[in-house]
Amino acid sequence: MAQKIKLSTIAESLGLSTATISLALRDSPLVAADTREKIKEQARTLGYIYNRRAASLRTSRSGIIGVVVHDVMNPFYGEILKAIESELDRSRHTFILSNHYDSVEKQRTFIETLLQLGGDGVIMSPAIGTPIEDVKLAEQNGMPAILVARTMDGVDLPTYRGDDSYGISLATNHLIGLGHRTIAMIGGTDQTSTGRDRYQGYVNALRKANIEVDPNLRIPGPRSMQGGYEAAVNFLSLPQKPTAAVCWNDLVAIGLMNGIARAGLIVGQDISVTGYDDLEQAAISMPALTTVSNQQADVGRLAARALLDRLAGSHEPDGIHLIRPEMRIRQSTGICRPR
Amino acid sequence: MAQKIKLSTIAESLGLSTATISLALRDSPLVAADTREKIKEQARTLGYIYNRRAASLRTSRSGIIGVVVHDVMNPFYGEILKAIESELDRSRHTFILSNHYDSVEKQRTFIETLLQLGGDGVIMSPAIGTPIEDVKLAEQNGMPAILVARTMDGVDLPTYRGDDSYGISLATNHLIGLGHRTIAMIGGTDQTSTGRDRYQGYVNALRKANIEVDPNLRIPGPRSMQGGYEAAVNFLSLPQKPTAAVCWNDLVAIGLMNGIARAGLIVGQDISVTGYDDLEQAAISMPALTTVSNQQADVGRLAARALLDRLAGSHEPDGIHLIRPEMRIRQSTGICRPR
């Protein structure tokens, strides 16, 4: 466990009195707003824990593990969380959850709260733009961090996620095998490692089949059912007349399928659609969705075990653990028919 | 705030030494398992906080509010949580979440953890079978509790929920108005106040229209998409040949619609289906789902405000606040055609 940072360390580093530092960290109006901000920034950089009283509790284990992800309502994260939860339940740890909605500030508040509560560890799917210091804040205060679903450059933490590039290439190859040549990619963003990897997997599969990659066939957008539904109009009016769509995830795919059905076309016959994640609802959607199982249960279970192992003193080799996805072929894909 | 319970109080009440009590509460094998269980039970009844060190932190506010519901992955709870979260964000409170999956024990562990952490308050949708003492445990230790979505008999806590009986009668009346007479009710359970109220609302609406209530037209079951999907076979093979289904919630309705579509029937023409909750996905399902808005955002917002008001010292009159639901008519319901 790293050495505890003292108020005096912060004071010295900024050439201020410890009293000023203490007041600033308590948000006292006696310290000018600018100075307060500067002090807090420095405290954060050094990895200071605000509440010393609570910090004193940390000599013993609290049994509390924090989990913070983009949005627990997204069933993809939900399935990871369920697996983490059942693993932690077995070891009698308490599990507290939070959403960051890709707000770095919200995520930092959660980590700071966990430190104040004496949390034993944190499992996180880092918010877009997370600075390395925020993850170090946890580690340097003796609270191990494990990453799930998203990678962070420049940190050497155990990271558990699906092999997105490979997974999306499975879906793309399946469509190519059915004769599709004009294949759009719907939903998602380049701002996360997942996003970049999925797009790359799609591009790689097309290139390998000697199909020209047309950047206009990519319709980025929200990773939600609503996002997929709204993309349907754009997708159907593309001048290239794509016969198939590789979707970012199952939610986008189900939304897109509903949008296509509203336009009077039959998914699986007129247009083929693939999802990603194999959520529970993929198998019972109409039509049943062809998708890629991202093995969320494995991601959550392995991440929770890695954390428990670290708490027990043993160390897995750090770094990225890629979980191998699998194809699930159902009724939303079929032989290519020109539109 | 109620008086703190001391170890000696528990000891006296059971005729045991305080040392035995202390050991038992720390799960020491020096105390026989039976006795430990008895002591813990008594400690719980009296409202004792296990971790006295943490308890001493509670002289000041921690800014932490706990929220525990059946399952945060259920979008119905998700939408309530989002509203609570945005209200608490504004007041700079930290929000920690947990699922109880209707396990009274899991819920109690969360309340105890919150007390140990010095939580300011708790918002809960009580697990089926929650004993009154578990809610009192929070209240008696100075941590106000607010209930959402479900009522508990015998406790006089502020409770915010939709008027389920009225809401389901809106859906049933809408179907009766379209000429339906053989209307099934799909999904749900009698074990929650919500379940009893929804069934009663359906029964009341039928009686008011002089339609005989046939208990065999009720197919109880899980409140999930999968539950609705699996109910489709039973529903379609009922000898009464129902022309419409009032579903427990949108998830059940969407699952049922997919099951009906798989059987080759057209929802909104051959069979009418109503949902409940008006989740985001109701409007974009195929066909668009006629449903009842349960005003989840209001439930969450009002509950969070009530808690913040109590923390600020003011008191809303306690008791049940029923939020009035509203009908959303879309494409999954249509004029009755005999099957």
In this predicted model, what pLDDT tens digit does every residue of A40-96 receive, in sequence order? Answer: 888 877 776 554 334 434 445 778 899 999 998 888 999 999 999 999 888 878 888
Q: Are residues A289 and A302 in the same domain?
A: no
**pLDDT the model gives residue A192:** 82
Count: domains in chain A: 3
Report the gap between the CA of A203 and the closest CA in chain B (Å): 30
**pLDDT the model gives residue B19:** 67
Higher pLDDT, A181 or A112: A181
**pLDDT the model gives residue B40:** 82
Q: Are residues A285 and A183 in the same domain?
A: yes
Residue of chain A minimizing CA distance to B254: A285
Give the range of the structural domain holding residue A314, as residue numbers without chain letter.
Answer: 59-162+296-324
**pLDDT the model gives residue B17:** 74
Q: What value does the mean pLDDT take over residues A217-233? A: 95
- B336 located within any domain: no
**Chain A residues within 8 A of B285 when measuring between CB atoms:** 258
Q: What value does the mean pLDDT take over residues B78-82? A: 93
Q: What value does the mean pLDDT take over residues B114-138? A: 89
Higher pLDDT, B74 or A21: B74
Q: What value does the mean pLDDT take over residues A262-270? A: 96
For the cut 50, the answer to whether the pLDDT of residue A3 exceeds it is no
- Interface A-B, measured as beta-carbon pairs within 8 A, has a size of 84
Q: Are residues A240 and A307 in the same domain?
A: no
Higher pLDDT, B64 or B208: B208
In our burial notation (b when 16+ CB lie closer than 10 A, e otherwise), range B264-301 reads: eeebbeebbbbbbbbbebbebbbbbbbbbbbbbbbbbb
Q: What value does the mean pLDDT take over residues B163-169? A: 96
Q: What is the number of H-type helices and E-type strands within chain A? A: 12, 12
- A337 located within any domain: no
Q: Are residues A172 and A271 in the same domain?
A: yes
pLDDT band at B54 (very low <50, low <70, confident <90, very high): very low
**pLDDT the model gives residue A59:** 44
- B13 located within any domain: yes
- Write the CB contacts of A56 (distance below 8 Å, at least 6 apart in sequence): none
**Chain B residues within 8 A of A75 when measuring between CB atoms:** 73
Give residue A139's region: left, alpha or beta (phi > 0; psi -120 to 50): alpha
Q: Are residues B72 and B215 in the same domain?
A: no
What are the tokens at B107? 């819920």
Among A72, A257, A286, beta carbon nearest to B97: A72
Q: Are residues B66 and B157 in the same domain?
A: yes
Share of chain A above pLDDT 70, in %: 91
**Chain A residues within 8 A of B54 when measuring between CB atoms:** 57
Q: What is the rounded distance in angstroms from the CA atom of residue B198 to the CA atom of residue B190? A: 9
Element spanning B288, H or E: none
Average pLDDT value for chain A:
88
pLDDT band at B306 (very low <50, low <70, confident <90, very high): very high
Note whether A72 contacts B75, CB cutoff 8 Å: no
- Write the CB contacts of A48 (distance below 8 Å, at least 6 apart in sequence): A5, A7, A9, A10, A25
- Cα–Cα–Cα angle for A144, A146, A147, nearest 5°? 150
Q: What value does the mean pLDDT take over residues A172-188? A: 97
Q: Are residues A260 and A169 in the same domain?
A: yes
pLDDT tens readout for residues B268-305 = 999 999 999 999 889 999 999 999 998 999 999 999 99
Note whether A225 contacts B284, CB cutoff 8 Å: yes
Q: What value does the mean pLDDT take over residues B318-338? A: 93
Amino acid of residue B10: I
What are the tokens at A213? 């990659």
pLDDT tens readout for residues B38-51 = 888 888 777 765 54
Interface test with B, best of A57, A73, A105, A280 (most B CBs within 10 A): A73
Higher pLDDT, B195 or A125: A125
**pLDDT the model gives residue A74:** 86
Q: What value does the mean pLDDT take over residues B5-10? A: 75
Share of chain A above pLDDT 90, in %: 58
pLDDT band at A200 (very low <50, low <70, confident <90, very high): very high
- A2 located within any domain: no
Q: What is the rounded distance in angstroms from the CA atom of residue A23 to the CA atom of residue A67? A: 31
Among B109, B116, B286, beta carbon nearest to A262: B286
- B337 located within any domain: no
- B115 located within any domain: yes
Higher pLDDT, B324 or B5: B324
Can you give the CATH number for the domain in which B45 is found? 1.10.260
Higher pLDDT, B21 or B276: B276
Share of chain B above pLDDT 70, in %: 91
Q: Are residues B186 and B217 in the same domain?
A: yes
Q: What is the rounded distance in angstroms from the CA atom of residue B253 to the CA atom of residue B235? A: 12
Higher pLDDT, A160 or A62: A160
Among A96, A229, A281, beta carbon nearest to B97: A96
For the cut 60, the answer to whether the pLDDT of residue B133 exceeds it is yes
Q: What value does the mean pLDDT take over residues B81-96? A: 88
**pLDDT the model gives residue B116:** 74
Task: List residues bridging with A233 in a β-sheet.
Answer: none
**pLDDT the model gives residue A5:** 66
Q: What value does the mean pLDDT take over residues A305-315? A: 87
- A203 located within any domain: yes
Note whether B73 contacts A82, CB cutoff 8 Å: yes
Q: Are residues B18 and B90 in the same domain?
A: no
Which of A211-215, B1-5, B100-104, B130-134 has the lowest average pLDDT?
B1-5
Average pLDDT value for chain B:
88
Q: Are residues B262 and B210 in the same domain?
A: yes
Q: Are residues B223 and B169 in the same domain?
A: yes
**pLDDT the model gives residue B94:** 81
**pLDDT the model gives residue B2:** 35
pLDDT band at A32 (very low <50, low <70, confident <90, very high): confident
To the nearest 5 percent, what fractions of chain B are helix, strand and coil?
Answer: 45, 15, 40
**pLDDT the model gives residue B327:** 97
> How many angstroms from the chain centroid is the CA of residue A99?
11
Question: Can you list the alpha helix ranges (DSSP code H) found in chain A?
Answer: 7-14, 18-25, 33-46, 52-56, 75-90, 104-117, 132-140, 164-177, 193-208, 225-236, 250-262, 296-311
Report the gap between the CA of B25 and the closest CA in chain A (Å): 15
Can you give the CATH number for the domain in which A212 is found? 3.40.50.2300
Report the gap between the CA of B121 and the closest CA in chain A (Å): 15
Note whether B54 contacts A57, CB cutoff 8 Å: yes
Question: What are the angstrom distances between the C-alpha of A113 and each of A97, A268, B32?
Answer: 12, 49, 37
- B234 located within any domain: yes
Q: What is the rounded distance in angstroms from the CA atom of residue B168 to the CA atom of residue B199? A: 8
Q: Are residues B222 and B315 in the same domain?
A: no
Q: Is the dihedral of CA A248, A254, A260, A265 positive or negative?
A: positive
